[in-house]
Amino acid sequence: MSEFLEKLSRALGDTRVQLVTTAVAASAVTAGVMWGTRKARRTRQTWRLKHDAKDMLSLDGNGFGSPAETHASAESLAVTKHTPVHLSPNEELLIQEQLARHYVFFGQEGMAKVRDSFVVVVGAGGVGSWAALMLLRCGVQRIRVIDFDQVTLSSLNRHAAATRANVGTPKVEALKQGFADIAPHAVVEARVALFSAETAAGLLAGEPDYVLDCIDNMDTKTDLLEFCKSHGLEVISAMGAGMKSDPSRVQIADISDTFEDPMSRAVRRRLKLRGIMGGVKVVYSTEKPGKVQLLSLAESQRDEPGDFSVLPDFRVRIVPVLGTMPAMFGVAMATHVLTELAGFPTEPLPVKGRFALYSRMQCDLGVREARMPLEAGGPRLQMRADDCGYMLEEIWRGRSAISGSIERLTFARWRRDQPMATYNCVCMTKPEADRHEKLAGNLEDHYAAETLEYIERRLDEEKQLSKWR
């Protein structure tokens, strides 16, 4: 034992050992201080977020704003059409200089309308954040931004205001903080809440002049659009910016006039089931999808994919997004809203569709129907070119229902013993239609079971939708 202590004493007396020991001790102390500082910072940030959240909304059992209860402080922070904007004479001069080029563009009267407006942006992601940012920069002084989600690292490729410091914080709070540096006079309500049919009345209260729908969940989007239509609120909706890359294809149109966009098609069909045939302006892209695909689910997610969704009924698979495209959608929405608010006339250029193709298919269908006997409903054809366009784009996705081909398309009556209707008319190639007209007996004897199932399912859906056409 004494020998060990003697060796230890000699080692500690070595200058090099003393230096190493000192360095190790200093590193340990430094690490402890850094860890303690970070922990304290996280604790303060967590407390601040909880404190802000309690001030913003009453929480229900799921952690989102309860439609049944409204917190008193949330009411005091709520922005409405009549919320006063306080500006001193000197501040007004600064704002007029900041918006000088817009005053030249819209004029005094137009800018007065813009600055007196109240706008609600639902969804503060890639599209909504840019729309809200440009509305603020261009003079809108009363804005409510609604979103339940938080900033992640992957948000930074497309969010208008978020930085790394905002990761883990609500997207709407990141926006509000950024807005304060641009237009400190503006009254901005950052509402951390999940939009739903139940919360719609409260979240869209306050007499908004315009509502911008930047939601990417299909059912929630439909609920919002239905609420706005039924309550006479002006609304513009963003369709899918994911998996798109061609800026020249971004368009503004009525949802009834859109084509080539799967989200527009899906929303349009849902609205029709609720009796809404059109009158909803949308920003969408005519770029054909298919260049990139959704990221595949991990092996562990395939059995119960719903368990990995952020919320029930929200998508699980990740949509590839080129960060510039959501920004273009948002800026296009903001531009349209600004011109509408200012009373500045614009005429969105209608996209040159495929009307010549629809007309040719109508004529071809008329020729085929003329060969039908009178007892089968021929030769009277009550199909317009628009009907043919609807069937081609909406029901059959611009492809043959038999082979999936997009070449030499035409229409043929599916079941020849039933009257011609949109729900008894199938898109095929011309050779397929020629063969179909010569078939005898049951269709089940001539087509594969998968083909029959697909066609019958699409026709059944159209039969239900045709009640609204």
Q: What is the pLDDT of residues 362-395, one digit of tens each?
A: 999 999 888 877 665 555 667 888 889 888 887 8
How confident is the model at residue 419, as a pLDDT? Answer: 86
How confident is the model at residue 93, as a pLDDT? Answer: 93
How confident is the model at residue 372, as a pLDDT? Answer: 78
228 has a pLDDT exceeding 80 = yes
Interhelix angle 2-13/15-56, nearest 10 degrees: 80
Q: Which of 25-29, 140-144, 212-216, 430-434 has the lowest average pLDDT?
A: 25-29
How confident is the model at residue 303, as a pLDDT? Answer: 46
Identify which has the larger pLDDT, 233 or 309: 233
How confident is the model at residue 429, as a pLDDT? Answer: 95
Identify which has the larger pLDDT, 399 or 288: 399
Identify which has the larger pLDDT, 300 or 410: 410
Can you give the pTM of this predicted structure? 0.63
Q: Please report, in angstroms and rounded to a whole number, the separation of the first and last CA atoms in the chain.
A: 99
> Which tokens hold the place of 220?
């929630």
Closest CA to 138 of 95, 176, 175: 95
Identify which has the larger pLDDT, 447 or 28: 447
β-sheet with 142-147: strand ranges across? 187-192, 142-147, 118-122, 210-213, 235-238, 281-285, 250-254
How confident is the model at residue 463, as a pLDDT? Answer: 86
151 has a pLDDT exceeding 60 = yes
Q: Secondary structure of 155-207 in the HEC alphabet?
A: HHHCCCCCCHHHCCCEHHHHHHHHHHHHCCCCEEEEEECCCCCCCHHHHCCCC
What is the band of 233 on the pLDDT scale with cuts at 50, 70, 90? very high
Average pLDDT, the chain: 82
**Is the Cβ–Cβ distance between 187 and 79 less than 8 Å?**
yes
What is the band of 231 on the pLDDT scale with cuts at 50, 70, 90? very high
306 has a pLDDT exceeding 50 = no
Highest mean pLDDT among 7-11, 135-139, 290-294: 135-139
**Is the Cβ–Cβ distance between 227 and 198 less than 8 Å?**
no
Q: What is the pLDDT of residues 49-98, one digit of tens each?
A: 445 444 443 433 333 343 333 333 344 478 999 999 999 889 999 999 99
What is the band of 45 on the pLDDT scale with cuts at 50, 70, 90? low
Query: What is the sign of the dihedral through the CA atoms of 145, 147, 150 and 154?
Result: negative
How confident is the model at residue 122, as a pLDDT? Answer: 97
**Is the Cβ–Cβ distance between 443 and 403 less than 8 Å?**
no
Residues of the chain with pLDDT > 70, as a percent, come to 74
CA dist., res. 131 & res. 211, Å (int): 11
Q: What is the pLDDT of residues 276-285, one digit of tens each?
A: 988 999 999 9
How confident is the model at residue 356, as a pLDDT? Answer: 83
130 has a pLDDT exceeding 90 = yes
